[in-house]
Structure 1
Amino acid sequence: MLQPDKNFLGKPAPPNYVAGLGRGATGFTTRTDIGPARESGLADKLPGQERGDGDLGGDGRGGDDSGRFQDPDDDTGLFNTGPYEQDDEEADQIWESIEQQMDERRKKRREAQEKENIEQMKEQNPVISEQFTDLKRQLSHLSEGEWMAIPEATNISGKRRKKEPKMERFSAVPDSLLLADFREIGKARDKVLEIKLDQAGGDSVSGKTTIDPRGYLTSLNSSVVMTASDIGDIQKARQLLKSVTMTNPKHAPGWIAAARLEKLAGKMGTARSIIAKGCEECPKNEDIWMEASQLNTKENAKVILASAVRHLPKSVPIWLAASELEDDVKSKRRVFRRGLEFIPTSVQLWKAAISIEEPENAKVLLSRSVELIPASVDLWLALAKLETYENAQKVLNKARAAVPTSHEIWFAAAQLEEQQGHNERVYKIIHRAVLTLAKKGIVFDRERWLNEAVEMEERGYLEVCRSIIRAVANVDLEEENKADVWISEAERQQEKGHIECSRALFALALTEYPSDPDIWMSAAILEQNSGTLKTLIELLERAVKECPQDDNLWLMMAKTKWRRANDLDGARSTLMEALKANPDSESIWLAAVKIEVTEREYPRAQKLLQSTRKTLTDSAKVWMKSAVLERNLGNNEEAYSLVTQALEKWQDFPKLWMIKAQLEDKVAARATLSKAVKMCPDCIPLWCMSARLEPSIKARAILERCRVRNPKSDELWLESIAVERQAGNDANARTLLNQALRECPSSGLLWSEAIQSEKPQGRKSKSADAMKHCEKNAYVVCSVGRLLWQESKIDKAKRWFEKAVEYDPSWGDGWGYLYKFESTEAGTNPDSVIERCIKAEPRYGKVWQAVAKDPANFELDTKHILLLVASKLD
């Protein structure tokens, strides 16, 4: 048998190959491997000379002994001639990682050793504070007498014998003291003493004190004591300002600053002298004369201002300041007229002069002023106000000719006409104003015109307000956007309380779009909230004529006549007209039924429902209302018959199933509700009714099935929690509540339950968590109010109850808590709560619906339902 050829046969051995190494053989090197010694030059060396790398001496074994100290990482040994392959690199990386791991282990040992060494050093050489730890601890047992007997820290020598000389102690002098100017320090000390003497009220002439004994303490509170640093600063500022006034004496601000500095330092005489010199140097500066008058007494100020007007006869502030120094009107008039001789075109002087005159004299002055200053709109308007109607028209015509670009004059003319009751002329004037100003290049944007209309409304000129909005309605608007812009502006003005502007914008929109029911409804809501009953009914009558097919406008009109006007016949006739225009309207039929039921006209209501069932054959709600009425009247058999007939046609209407279950006994109701939840699987109240008829185990299973289908229903979670509590499983109830909050984190209903079920000490923190997740939720806010009420924080509790009904006025339980609080606490007004609740017409709430839907209470109105709800609340 032929043996295969080895692939290494006939080939040179690899570098550094040693035969038999795997079997334990050891390699050796002969002279033939390293060559003759003479070739390397080693044989020629004498004994005792330094051996080279190839020397055979050393330890007598024929090899070099220096290899013991060779670096193993330095490839200069046996394998330095071999190739560096990939496996070599991997091996090096492995060894390097091992070295790193070992180094980390050694590092931890080193750190532990160093820490131990530091601790030993601390034990051997403790810090000073640690050396006296035991002594500090003993100080806590010292008595007060022993403590007081401890010498002060400065008495380093302890007690001194009587015959011993006193030891002198010295301290190093700081450099700041060596650099101090002792002359300046002495001056500052003298200045402080002088100020204190002046404040004490001493008379340097007579030597007697002038202190007021009654006002001395008050003067101490108002006096300002300057420190040496303050005085030094004043001295530096004084020198600086002195340099300014000397180098540039014509610079008035320098004189003014110097005088004010002396006033601040309390040297009024020096201040007056400086400002007087400044007036001499700068007689043409207005500010320096005004400053001089303010620094002097009233009489001296008159003299100063008299000198000022000689140098500056056309300075309005100086003439006004001079008039303020006069006490009587005659003197003031003389000053003003003298000033107007020099400055006849000063509007400010004319206004000041006219303000102190009687109406007749003021009219004369105004007539003269508009001749001299025809461009002053204020003077023209002031003159027009003092004139009669005819003369005022003439004045305003002249004003328009003098100032054709002033819209204020046009508005004044419109206001004049409105004052006279000429409302038809107001719009003409405003319309002409807009056109004329546009020709003159004066064009305002919409916001500017709206602001002008708002100002007219605030001043009481309502017709001018309406005319402005009407005249500028189409400014900066495209045809397709007009309605939206007008409605948004009207709502914005309504929020700001500018009712007339909002009403004018709605009127404008209704003129352009009379067949839009939404605009009519928005305008009606405005009148309902801010208008009168008459204006509301008139608006609704116009609305139903323009939009007879809109149910909501008819219903609002009927309700307004019924509730607000107490016109029952008017409401009935309105609904009959509505049915003629909308014979198939379910809401109008049911509104007519509601009126009859509320007014306790039950036969009329039954007839209406019978007619409605014949007319509206596809309305399940009408059949449901019919069954509810019969049940409330005690006709349970008729009610059961109606609801059974209805369910044959509308099995997906959940309220029919509820009524049927309520009319049946417990066993039949279970079967009905079991079928109902299959027909209406998304109706949570049906599932809850079904669970309430079962024991806790089966109820839990029913609710779990519903939760699988509706995991985000907070009402369903709350029912499950109630089942666990009724069964006495409080732990399960808490678990379910936590799980419910995770599924519905923003449910105020669940957070309210969490607050009430929490222990008293944890309710505050739970309330804070609830407010973070649902800040403006009526349930949470009411729960916080209840918590504050329990803590007897009456004022805060009232505010929180008020917030609850503000956030959700349709929640009846909130009104019940508010009324219960108001009727329980003294100093409150529960009657106002009843009035507001009737106006809000609440519709839901756990306790509210239980009371309102009870057949025994179906005749109760909102007031009595509220009282009954409040009595049932905790």
Structure 2
Amino acid sequence: MERKSFLDQEAPPNYIAGIGRGATGFTTQADLGSINSNRFQSRVDDSDDDERFSDADEDNYSGFAREKVKEEEDDLEADKIYDELEKRLELRRKRKHATVDKEDENQPDNDKVQVKDITIGESMKTIGEQFKDYKKELAKVSVEQWENLPESGDFTRRNKRLRKELQENQRFYRNSDGFIAEMRDSEQNTSDRLNDSITDITSVSLAKDKVLASQLANLNNTEASSVDFNSYIKQLEESKDNYEDAALQSSSKISSNVGDYHRNRVLFNKMRESAPNKPGNWIASARLEYEVRKYERARKLIQQGCDQCPRSEEVWLVNIEMNHSDLHLCKVIVAEAIKYNSKSLKLWLKAAELETDNISKKRVLRKALEFLPTSETLWLEIVKYEDVNDMKIRMLEKATELLPTSIEMWLELVKIEPIGDARKSLNKARKCVEKHDIHLIYIEGAKLEESATQNEIKVNKLIAKCFKDASDTIAKDEWLRFAVECEQDKFFMTAKAITLQALETEVADEETEDKIYSYVNDARLAFKHKNVEVARSMFMFITSKFANNLDAWDSFIEMEKSIDGNSELYTVYEMAISANPDVVRFYLMYAKDKWMLENDVEKARQILTEGLEKNKESEDLWFAAIKLEWKSGSKLQATQLFERCRDEIPEPSARVWYKHITLERIQGHIDQALKLADEGLAYHQQEPKLYLQLGQLYEDQENWQKATETYELGTKLCLDCSELWISWAKVEEFKLKRLVKARSILDQRLAINNKDELAYLSRIQLEIRSKNIQQARILIAKALKEIPKSGLIWSENIKMAKPQQRKNFYKMALNSTDDDSYVVLTIALDLWSLGKMSRAKQFFQSIFENDSDFGDAYIYYFGFLLKHGTHDEIKELETQFVKNEPRHGLIWCPIFKKLENFDREPLELLREEANNLSN
């Protein structure tokens, strides 16, 4: 690159480098040199205490006098230099701006050059006109091109923007002594670099830039000097009352905000100076000082605020708050405040609050009434401190004369007056209060009538009149809220009347299903929040208006059953049966509760008899009646009811036959049971349960040949019944000892239906019993390929896995089966065996959350709790078991359906099996 000639030439006289482009008066890092730890050490040693800047904003502070004089001398010297530069530049600018017009030499007056003095402004205007067209073309220049334009005199063509960024990085900051000390200590800890360690001021500068950027971002992109004053004041007003407790927090937290504190302090000082009559400025300043534990300064500031803004009640209240430890001073402050704000309710209430005895409080409040005779709050406060009931009545009567529209005054008066006077006061109040408050008078009258007479008719009349006068202004939800409040105050008649009237007012002639559903949900929600009377009233209204809505009846019955005492449960049953005589489940539920909850067998028999008279073809009612007779000891009567059932039902289902067969088997009447099985199969040739019962009857007689023939016939007529195939295979394996035949039967079943998980499970377990583990694993893999979501197969897969693989199998099985109950139970048992009791307990409990009808889980969890649980946990599980009445499970169902367990209670069977498991 060719070197420029001017770089080797001598500079012109009076030349100042950089003056042409304004680059004067700046300092670079090279001018300063490096800063090492010794310089920091000297700065630290000369540092003052932490409180040296605490009073920097006071007018009489002179701590920086010496520095100030030095700065003034430096400023004078700098001004002198700048003046000399300006004089030199002015000499250059005083060149004449001339315009020369040369005419023909023949003209006598134009034979010499004419010179005209013009100003600098006119000269610039002339030049501007010459470049006007070029300026218009600048509009086409893009922003990127504009940023990359070199400046005038920039011969090196360096980028303007990059140079500007470099200059911005070369800035200096005033650091605290603590920061310097930290840097000194960090450098001293690295002794091997002590001599040549140089502080990277650029890194410090960049770090401070990041901090400044984050602070500016928090100010919602406003300028660095702007603060949202209103939001800050609001935040201060919402802070806690006890500032001294907040100030006693760790000093490290306060010191971390020292910079913010000093900036805010200067800011609020300027605000006070610019607007000394604004109370918010004084309050904000005082609270700022109070938060950093500068209590005396805070109290001085707030006192100055009181002097500057004596008509602001908030300033006085803050002053009292900050001096709350000195009760006498607070009384003096509030007395002074009331002189300037005699009509401030807050100040009068604060003055009463500062008094320690009721007599003084009453004296202050009565004095306040002289200035605020129409203050409802003051009247109510005075009444609160009155001990004599007659004096309360007299004061409230006076208050109602002064404030006839105050609903609170009337209600308070009615509560303490005798019944007769209270009625008169309510009649007066109805004429005085506003229409939007009149409903409160009626509700209070209904409460009064309920407490005095317990006359529900009068209560209903008052509430009906209330709705007539005020229903247009209040919505249903608001009425229900009033009803809830009445119930909470133990006024049940009033709550009921309001609820019924509210629903009656809203209900239209034609109601949609969605509307009824919303009513039922409202009632459920009311009961959930323990508002029983309101919920009961809502259900009574819904069931009376929509008697055929069975969902409402079910919810009503469920609610009453969950309430202790069951006082209204049987009434609801009677209402439900009366409204829906053809709904069989109401008879069944009613009879069961009478039998189980009260042991009233005769009443239960009457209910079922009534149900059978109206629903003769209902098999469920017949079965319930038979079970009642059997459990109560009338076995002969139960058998006779079965015969009547088959005679009175035109076409009895297969259930009638196999339930009758079961009853005969329990009594040991095998021949009669075989006869019934043959009769049943004559009517229902494709009923698998009849074949199963017939096969079991032959097994009871140990007639294995007949049993296998029955099962084989059943599999031909009922191809989809897995139980028949499995029962046939078990007889072949366990009774006839023909393992190959059993295996062939199950394979035949899987050939018909390759997605039968019960058949696969039986096939896998057969191989495990035969010690063919490898074949069992092959079958598991094949089964998972056919039915990947089978919880039973995955459970076997986990059991067959090696210990180190089981953890991975847990996750795979849960994901594949969507947390199947059998998989979760298998994991819980495996964790139990590994000694991880807390994790096993979590898995056990998760089963009941998703499948409360899984009997196997109850057996194993009961056994787990017997060893590792508490007595309360066992009782809770038993209660849950009785409530849910589980009916499925590979282990539980065979136990529950055994003939010898027919008369035993399920809870007894659970305890027995769990004890056997734990032993």
| Structure 1 segment 168-317 matched on structure 2, within 5 A | 172-173=34-35, 186=48, 190=52, 224=251, 237-264=264-291, 266-296=293-323, 297-317=326-346
TM-aligned CA distance change 1:532 to 1:298, over 3 Å:
closer
Match of 1:401 among 428, 431, 437: 431
Measured in 1, the distance between the counterparts of 2:537 and 2:820 equals 36
2:513 aligned with 1:651, yes or no? no
Partner of 2:476: 446
TM-aligned CA distance change 1:497 to 1:273, over 3 Å:
closer
Partner of 1:639: 673
| Structure 1 segment 422-441 matched on structure 2, within 5 A | 422-438=455-471
Partner of 1:818: 861
| Structure 1 segment 64-463 matched on structure 2, within 5 A | 172-173=34-35, 186=48, 190=52, 224=251, 237-264=264-291, 266-296=293-323, 297-358=326-387, 360=389, 361-403=391-433, 405-420=437-452, 421-438=454-471, 443-463=473-493
Measured in 2, the distance between the counterparts of 1:259 and 1:689 equals 89
| Structure 1 segment 722-741 matched on structure 2, within 5 A | 722-741=765-784
TM-aligned CA distance change 1:761 to 1:363, over 3 Å:
farther
Q: Deviations over 1:750-789 (max 9, x none)?
A: 4544444444444444444455456675444444543454
Determine helix, strand or coil for the equivalent of 2:871.
coil
2:594 aligned with 1:574, yes or no? no
Determine helix, strand or coil for the equivalent of 2:310.
coil
Q: Deviations over 1:30-72 (max 9, x none)?
A: xxxxxxxxxxxxxxxxxxxxxxxxxxxxxxxxxxxxxxxxxxx
Measured in 2, the distance between the counterparts of 1:473 and 1:449 equals 9
* Alignment gaps of 5+ in structure 1: 1-169, 195-217
* Alignment gaps of 5+ in structure 2: 1-31, 57-244, 733-737
Question: Contact 1:623/1:643 (CA < 8 Å) preserved in 2?
Answer: yes
| Structure 1 segment 581-620 matched on structure 2, within 5 A | 581-616=614-649, 618-619=651-652, 620=654
Question: Contact 2:859/2:914 (CA < 8 Å) preserved in 1?
Answer: yes
2:773 aligned with 1:719, yes or no? no
Deviation at residue 566 of structure 1 after TM alignment = 0.9
TM-aligned CA distance change 1:631 to 1:272, over 3 Å:
closer
TM-aligned CA distance change 1:639 to 1:768, over 3 Å:
same
Letter in 2 for 1:287: E
Letter in 2 for 1:688: I
Q: Deviations over 1:449-487 (max 9, x none)?
A: 333333433443332232222112245544332666345
Partner of 1:508: 541
Measured in 1, the distance between the counterparts of 2:246 and 2:343 equals 42
TM-aligned CA distance change 1:764 to 1:635, over 3 Å:
same
Q: Deviations over 1:558-605 (max 9, x none)?
A: 222222221222222332232222222222222121122223432222
Question: Contact 1:684/1:715 (CA < 8 Å) preserved in 2?
Answer: yes
Partner of 1:9: none
Deviation at residue 643 of structure 1 after TM alignment = 0.3
Partner of 2:238: none
Partner of 1:93: none
Measured in 1, the distance between the counterparts of 2:812 and 2:451 equals 60
Question: Contact 2:247/2:290 (CA < 8 Å) preserved in 1?
Answer: no
Measured in 2, the distance between the counterparts of 1:358 and 1:649 equals 88
TM-aligned CA distance change 1:577 to 1:276, over 3 Å:
closer
Question: Contact 2:254/2:292 (CA < 8 Å) preserved in 1?
Answer: no
Measured in 2, the distance between the counterparts of 1:687 and 1:488 equals 50
Deviation at residue 659 of structure 1 after TM alignment = 0.6
Deviation at residue 854 of structure 1 after TM alignment = 1.8
Deviation at residue 310 of structure 1 after TM alignment = 0.9
TM-aligned CA distance change 1:189 to 1:415, over 3 Å:
closer
TM-aligned CA distance change 1:252 to 1:517, over 3 Å:
closer
Letter in 1 for 2:646: R
Question: Contact 1:654/1:683 (CA < 8 Å) preserved in 2?
Answer: yes
Partner of 1:853: 897
Bigger shift: 854-863 or 805-814?
Answer: 805-814
Match of 1:689 among 727, 734, 739: 727
Question: Contact 2:523/2:539 (CA < 8 Å) preserved in 1?
Answer: no
Deviation at residue 873 of structure 1 after TM alignment = 4.3
Bigger shift: 490-499 or 362-371?
Answer: 490-499
Deviation at residue 807 of structure 1 after TM alignment = 3.9
Measured in 1, the distance between the counterparts of 2:255 and 2:860 equals 68
Question: Contact 2:616/2:649 (CA < 8 Å) preserved in 1?
Answer: no
Deviation at residue 244 of structure 1 after TM alignment = 3.2
Measured in 2, the distance between the counterparts of 1:227 and 1:869 equals 65
TM-aligned CA distance change 1:223 to 1:175, over 3 Å:
closer
Question: Contact 1:490/1:503 (CA < 8 Å) preserved in 2?
Answer: no
Q: State the number of aligned residues.
A: 678
Q: Name the % identity.
A: 31
Partner of 2:136: none
Measured in 2, the distance between the counterparts of 1:609 and 1:679 equals 27
Measured in 2, the distance between the counterparts of 1:347 and 1:611 equals 79
Letter in 2 for 1:448: E
Deviation at residue 396 of structure 1 after TM alignment = 2.6
CA RMSD of aligned residues (A): 3.8
TM-aligned CA distance change 1:547 to 1:182, over 3 Å:
closer
Return the index of the structure with the highest Cα Rg.
Answer: 1
Measured in 1, the distance between the counterparts of 2:667 and 2:421 equals 76
TM-aligned CA distance change 1:582 to 1:493, over 3 Å:
closer
Q: Deviations over 1:58-95 (max 9, x none)?
A: xxxxxxxxxxxxxxxxxxxxxxxxxxxxxxxxxxxxxx
Higher RCO (C-alpha 8 Å, min separation 6): 2
Letter in 2 for 1:416: L
Measured in 2, the distance between the counterparts of 1:543 and 1:614 equals 30
Measured in 2, the distance between the counterparts of 1:766 and 1:376 equals 73
Measured in 1, the distance between the counterparts of 2:908 and 2:44 equals 92
Deviation at residue 648 of structure 1 after TM alignment = 1.7
Question: Contact 1:653/1:680 (CA < 8 Å) preserved in 2?
Answer: yes
TM-aligned CA distance change 1:808 to 1:186, over 3 Å:
closer
Letter in 2 for 1:371: E
TM-aligned CA distance change 1:348 to 1:689, over 3 Å:
same
Deviation at residue 651 of structure 1 after TM alignment = 0.9
